């Protein structure tokens, strides 16, 4: 035992050995204390929805196609999306292309991140409805309001606004 203590006493303590010892000790403590058996798997990702441009005029019986694409910030295979809508003004039906007709405030499962909706006007008045898309993790839903004006409605006096009729009478230039 005396020989081992003499050998330890003969070893010169250099700055490299001193800091190396503490670096190894710190690494060992950090490695042993940070182990965890729990995996941190993120399932819910924020998402946006791209809507292709669409016309804003519609007449009774006319159908307008709306195209959507859901774009999540991450990818989790088991994420499901649902759609629902609420009609504020006008009358009409909203239908998933190759799918069911949507009922006000009922959720319907979307089978794809890219989908199309057909809105068919059933009245000649202006139309306004909102669409909500949600995922199955309860994250913040995406929402957008769609408004369509009737092609049949004119101005308050029954004439179409923006159309200038013929000028009757003598024409006097401005500024003379």
State the Cα–Cα distance between residues 42 and 176, nearest whole angstrom: 75
* CA–CA dist 25, 14 (Å, integer): 17
3-class SS at 115? Answer: strand
Predicted confidence at residue 12, as pLDDT, reads 66
Give pLDDT tens digits for 67-104. Answer: 999 888 877 777 888 999 999 888 999 999 888 899 98
Confidence of residue 155 (pLDDT cuts 50, 70, 90): very low
Backbone angles phi and psi of 115, in degrees to 5: -150, 165
Q: What residues form DSSP beta bridges with 144?
A: 131
Three-class secondary structure assignment of 15-78: HHHHHHHHHHHHHHHHHHHCCCCCCCCCCCCCEEEEECCCCCEECCCCEEEEEEEEEECCCCCC
Predicted TM-score (pTM) of this structure: 0.61
């Amino acid at each position: 035992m005396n020989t081992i203590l003499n050998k330890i006493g003969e070893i010169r303590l250099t700055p490299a050995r001193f800091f190396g010892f503490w670096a190894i000790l710190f690494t060992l403590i950090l490695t042993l204390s940070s182990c965890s058996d729990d995996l941190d798997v993120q399932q819910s990702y924020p998402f946006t929805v791209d809507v292709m441009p669409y016309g804003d005029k519609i007449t009774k019986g006319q159908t307008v196609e709306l195209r959507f694409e859901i774009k999540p910030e991450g990818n989790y295979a088991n994420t499901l999306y649902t759609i629902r809508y609420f009609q504020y003004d006008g009358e009409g039906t909203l239908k998933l292309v190759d799918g069911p007709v949507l009922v006000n405030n009922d959720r319907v499962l979307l089978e794809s991140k890219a989908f199309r909706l057909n809105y068919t006007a059933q009245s000649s008045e202006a139309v306004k409805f909102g669409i909500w898309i949600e995922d199955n993790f309860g994250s913040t839903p995406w929402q957008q309001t769609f408004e369509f004006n009737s092609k049949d409605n004119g101005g308050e006096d029954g004439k179409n606004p923006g159309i200038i009729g013929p000028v009757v009478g003598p024409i006097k230039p401005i500024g003379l």
